[in-house]
C-alpha cells in the first residue's frame, strides 16, 4: 500500500507532517494522488495559520498518533467553550 493511500484514511485528522523543506503540526484537509492540502497549526497559539498544498512526492514523514499529537488535541479541546462544540475543527 502506498503512503498516499494510507493517508487518505486520516483526512480531517491532526497530524505532524514533515516534507522536503519544512515540518509542521496541522490538519490534513485533503489527500490526493498529486498533492496534499494541509492546514498548519501554530502550537504556541493553538490557532490554524496557512493552508499549504504540498506535492505528495515530497512528504517524508507523517506522525498520526503519539504524545505530541495527544497533547495538541488536549490543548485544543481545553480552549473549546461549550457553545462551540457544534463547530469543532479537530
Mean per-residue pLDDT for 39-45?
A: 87
CATH numeric code, 3-87: 2.30.30.100
pTM, to two decimals: 0.76
For the stretch 63-77, pLDDT in tens is: 988 778 888 878 877
How far is Cα 71 from Cα 11, in angstroms, rounded to an integer? 19
Q: What is the CA radius of gyration of the chain?
A: 13
Domain boundaries, the chain: 3-87
Which cell numbers in the block locate residue 60?
Answer: 517524508
Contacts 24+ apart (CB under 8 A), 70-76: 72/14, 72/25, 72/41, 72/43, 72/46, 73/14, 75/46, 76/14, 76/46
DSSP-derived 3-state class of residue 34: coil
Q: Which of 29-33, 47-51, 79-83 has the lowest mean pLDDT?
A: 79-83
With bands split at pLDDT 50, 70 and 90, how would you rate the model's confidence at 47?
A: confident
User: Which of 29 and 81 is assigned the larger pLDDT?
Assistant: 29
pLDDT at 80 over 80: no
pLDDT > 90: percent of the chain: 52
Amino acid at each position: 500500500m502506498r503512503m498516499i493511500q494510507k493517508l487518505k484514511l486520516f483526512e480531517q485528522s491532526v497530524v505532524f507532517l514533515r516534507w522536503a523543506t519544512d515540518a509542521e503540526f496541522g490538519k490534513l484537509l485533503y489527500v490526493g494522488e498529486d498533492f496534499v492540502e494541509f492546514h498548519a497549526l501554530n502550537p504556541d497559539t493553538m490557532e490554524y495559520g496557512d493552508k499549504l498544498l504540498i506535492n505528495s512526492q515530497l512528504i517524508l514523514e507523517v506522525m498520526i498518533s503519539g504524545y505530541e499529537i495527544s497533547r495538541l488535541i488536549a490543548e485544543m479541546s481545553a480552549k473549546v467553550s461549550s457553545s462551540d462544540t457544534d463547530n469543532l475543527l479537530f
